Structure 1
Amino acid sequence: MAKPKTTIGIDLGTHSVKAVQVSNFGNGLKVERAALVRLHTDGTNEDRRSEELVRALRTVATVFHVKKATIITALPGQDTFIRYLRFPKMPPEELKNSIELEADQNLPYDLTEVSTDSVVLEEITERNETIMKILLVAAKNEMINKTLDLLRSVGLATSILGITTLAIADAFEANSGFQPDETVALINIGASSTNIHFCRDGVSNFTRDISRGGRDLTSAIQKMLKVTYDEAERLKTDYARKNFGKANGESAGFDDVETVESDDLSLDVGAGGEATDEPTEPMKSVKMDDGSRIVNATRPALNRLIGEIRRSIDYYEKQLYEKNVGRLVLSGGTAMFPGLDQSLADATGVPVEIVDPVQSLIVEEGAPGIKDLIENRAQFNVAVGLAARGFAE
């Protein structure tokens, strides 16, 4: 299969759509244009979100050169199933049958309701026997068709459908790259969920999706300050933009991090009540420079998020008997919340960095959307990973 000349990665987020168009440039990749389109919804009303997604995708279809591009989008991690399998080395046909049997036994749906794909991650030797490590992914056909139909409705024919949790590893590989004998936890904090992808020696090793994200912070601000959801989102975003980096590496004071004493990783505490567009009381004046109220409002939600991330790391290291995680790499809009990186480092004892998904890519300055890309780099991680994947197919 010939490699594409240009790809478009589209991240269908809860609060926004991010897209980048990437082309081959010498031995690297060049970002030709980008788009960040906000969705005027909290994500809890599916009909409203679909309408907003259509509006955002029409903008992408208008701004981007889509005719000859390979278009790639992704299903969110919480709508997919990822399993890691191990088999003794066997012929391809026998391996295919073994994977199908495992899928039938492990997936929560009938195989007629889902589409599956698998890849051999690596072969290792254990006790003089060659073991094949397999990544199995699956998604319900209903969700796949819904996503593809959505893009087709605005003239975007998707060639490849990925998974958000895996795309963050593609972005990391296209930029920093994995170091030998290192375990990295790639953590994408989206609006409605957080994806964690553990990679060891550059190989996918374990994933987990947490039902917590930036929307929990917005809902907390909405409740405490008695404002609408949209106003709370604006306050949160403005506070983050004005204050990120001012702490000079200091913790934001998210103390008393909540932990759950359990070895059962399937125990996933949800994000709580749904957000509402209506204030619980008449709107009051909120001073934009009163950052302490934003911090106080969001502290409990951030503590819970940090606690869940720490518990995931503990499970990976202690229950799966894996090597200790060497660093945490954050992406997503909430990754830019002031002090979160240092507070997470304090809670886990692991160095934390915030991703720059275009640090090794050439960026065409002055092109459409590049200003949004530069100012909101961490939010574009999934889109960059999807676009980069097109050149690796």
Structure 2
Amino acid sequence: MFGMGKSKAVVGLDIGSSSIKLVELRRVGKELAISKLGMEPLPSEVVVDGAIVDTGQVSNAIAKMFSEKKIKTKQVATAVSGHSVIVKKLSLQPMTDEELGSAIQMEAAQHIPFDIGEVNLDYQVLETPLDSSTMEVLLVAVKKDKILNYTNVVMLAGRTPAIVDIDAFALQNVYEYNYEPAPDATVALLNIGASVMNINIVRGTTPLFTRDVSVGGNQYTDSLQKELDLGFDEAETLKTGTTLPGISEEARLPVLKSVTEIIVLEIQRTFDFFRATSGGEHIQKLYLAGGSAKIYGLAEMLKQELGLAVEQLNPFRRIPYEEEGPVG
């Protein structure tokens, strides 16, 4: 969304609350291939609810990955989400690009709950039926201090921030490239991280509704630690379905289920609101992504409670991995 320069080569950087993920793509003919892939875990409390608290530790982790992977590319693309990010779909009278560029500030002032001077704005004209009397515009606003929070750590690591996207739209890019959706295919993309869940409902390649919810894998870890008197590492192991000596299924499963029910309820509320405000648009399928998407029992409960086909989104469905050696 927020371009900060032009570059043919850009490294993707996902700064999460439990780890940092890195990917460098290369073109092979008309297709993409992965040339570098890495992940560096982060201690708890370094990134909290999408805010980078310890900039030194995060920048050091980024620099370490670039060094270990021998990546020479300087330009970086990253993404943000959370309460400092506002996404609104506007229905406006048809106008030229020049007129829209002049009008967007005024429109933003009416729809953004922040001082316009405190945010970075971007917008995209969406596809609209030819017989429509209005034009649909996707407006995005992010607080400047949120963007600086991320771009500063990139620069401290000796790299140049080229693009700051929105997490939900970054996942949509992955979905579009790998799945080449039909124009009438309406799906929900769920990115479930450690502390934030991004929901993006998409028809074809057009985003219809987005929402960020402050729930994720940390709730499972916290509940397992509290209810079963476990350490952090033990709880992290249990929530993925791996068993531990002395912890029975009868003890573990009810704890996981109670948290899953909370997450499913938030998703159900989001879908109900979307249907009520979109003329009854029908969601056909749900794709799960993110580090917490493979929590034991989550996909099955989503399938049962929502009555939808549920699939783990494969980000490498059309993107071969070419680097030799272990990922990490």
Amino acid at match of 2:255: A
SS in 2 for 1:336: coil
Would you say 1:359 and 2:287 are equivalent positions?
no
1:379 — aligned with what? none
Q: Among 332, 341, 347, which residue is 2:305 paired with?
A: 347
**1:289 CA displacement:** 6.2
Aligned to 1:209: 212
Structure 2, gaps ≥5 residues long:
none
Deviations 1:191-217 (A, max 9, x none): 111111011122111101111111111
> CA separation in 1, counterparts of 2:279 and 2:226?
41
SS, match of residue 66 in structure 2:
helix
Q: 1:90 aligns with which of 78, 91, 95?
A: 95
| Percent sequence identity over aligned pairs | 30
Report matched runs for 1:240-279 at 5 Å: 242=242
Return the match for 2:283 from 315, 325, 341. 325
Moved over 4 A (4+): 1-5, 42-49
TM-score norm. by structure 2 comes to: 0.90
Q: 2:201 aligns with which of 198, 203, 212?
A: 198
2:167 maps to a residue whose letter is: T
Measure how far apart 1:64 and its partner are: 3.8
Distance 1:117 1:3 in 2: 17
How far, CA to CA, are the matches of 2:185 and 2:24 in structure 1? 31
TM-superposed deviation, 1:322: 4.0
The answer to whether structure 1 residue 102 and structure 2 residue 107 are counterparts is yes
Supply the distance in 2 between the matched residues of 1:294 and 1:57 (Cα, whole angstroms): 35
Deviations 1:268-304 (A, max 9, x none): xxxxxxxxxxxxxxxxxx6276344332222211101
Q: Please give the alpha-carbon distance, in whole angstroms, between the structure 2 residues aligned to 1:323 and 1:169.
A: 19
In structure 1, distance between residues paired with 2:146 and 2:262: 29
Give 1:9's aligned residue. 12
1:333 partner amino acid: G
Deviations 1:77-112 (A, max 9, x none): 433111111112112232223321121111111111
How far apart, in 1, do the equivalents of 2:315 and 2:77 lie? 17
Alignment partner of 1:152 is 2:146: no
The residue identity in structure 1 corresponding to 2:159 is L
Assess if the C-alpha contact under 8 Å between 2:127 and 2:136 holds in 1: yes
* 3-state SS, counterpart of residue 78 of structure 1: coil
1:290 alignment counterpart: 248
Q: CA deviation at 1:47?
A: 7.3
CA distance in 2, matches of 1:175, 1:140: 31
CA shift in 2, pair 1:49/1:192, >3 Å: farther
In structure 2, how many angstroms separate the alpha carbons of the residues matched to 1:20 and 1:47?
A: 20
Q: Does 1:75 align with 2:75?
A: no
Counterpart in the other structure of 2:261: 303
What is the alpha-carbon distance in structure 1 between the residues aligned to residue 139 and residue 252 of structure 2?
41
Structure 1: how far apart are the matches of 2:159 and 2:202?
A: 32
TM-score (norm 1): 0.76
What amino acid does structure 2 have at the position aligned with 1:211? S
Give the structure, 1 or 2, with the largest relative contact order (CA under 8 Å, sep 6 or more).
1
How many residue pairs get aligned? The number is: 323
Match of 1:391 in 2: none
How has the CA–CA distance of structure 1 residues 9 and 288 changed in structure 2, closer, same or farther, with 3 Å as cutoff? farther
User: How big is each residue's C-alpha offset from its partner over 1:366-392, in whole Å with a ceiling of 9 and x where there is no partner?
Assistant: 2452xx5xxxxxxxxxxxxxxxxxxxx
Residue 30 of structure 1 aligns to which amino acid in structure 2? A
Between the aligned partners of 1:288 and 1:23, the Cα distance in structure 2 is 47
Return closer, same or farther for 1:202/1:29 CA change in 2, 3 Å cut-off. same
Cα offset, 1:48, TM superposition: 5.8
Q: Summarize the Cα distance change of 1:151–1:47 in structure 2 as closer, same or farther, 3 Å threshold.
A: closer
Whole-angstrom CA distance in 1 between matches of 2:69 and 2:165: 20
2:157 maps to a residue whose letter is V
Summarize deviations over 1:241-292 as a string: whole Å, max 9, x none: x48xxxxxxxxxxxxxxxxxxxxxxxxxxxxxxxxxxxxxxxxxx6276344
Q: Distance in 2 between matches of 1:132 and 1:367?
A: 49
8 Å CA contact 2:284, 2:308 repeated in 1: yes
**Aligned-residue CA RMSD in angstroms?**
2.4
Q: 1:233 to 1:50 in 2, by over 3 A?
A: farther
Query: SS at 2:261's partner residue?
Result: helix
Contact 1:6–1:24 (Cα < 8 Å) also in 2: no
1:340 corresponds to which letter in structure 2?
A: L
